[in-house]
Structure 1
Amino acid sequence: MSDTAHHSHKKLYWGIFFALAVLTGLELLIPGLEGVSYAIKASSLIGLALGKAFLVAYFYMHLNEEKGWLKFIAAIPCSAGVYAAVVILESMFR
């Protein structure tokens, strides 16, 4: 048997769950906002989606426990997300 004590992550996971729920609620409210420009709505939705993706990757995929170089390797695909966000925002001004 191992002598290391296992500490529960339940409190952290519940906190992340509620943070994701709040961000999802905001995502549902944003499209219905009257008087807000399309660019602001799109930028807000993209930012919220990126924030949720970060929370899931960092905590549920345990990137917070990895070494720096592995975090960098995991962050490389984020460039695709940034590219997609730029393309989406660029399409608004065509």
Structure 2
Amino acid sequence: MSTKKQLGTITILVKDRQQHSVDVNRILTENSRLILARLGVNVARTCVTGCTAMVTVAIEGTTKEINGLTEKLDSLYGIVAKANIVTEE
């Protein structure tokens, strides 16, 4: 696998943000050197508890780094994470 830096996004669906956001934030903080920008969206705007949220992270790293971070996030209970690499390898 190439060591060339790639640009991409990771979209993260958090099914219960009050319960699961701590784990997501911990993993994102541990990998902050890869993160260029982050956008959080409260999908259910009128929701009070058990709310679904979506986080999109702009990222720069090797394909291995991006996929590794995505897999870590996706392995968490209540989290779905998908990567989209937009530069050519």
**Is the pair's TM-score, using the shorter chain for normalization, greater than 0.5?**
no
In the superposition, the TM-score normalised over structure 1's length comes to 0.31
**Structure of higher RCO (CA pairs closer than 8 Å, 6+ residues apart):** 2
Structure number with greater Rg is 1
In the superposition, the TM-score normalised over structure 2's length comes to 0.32
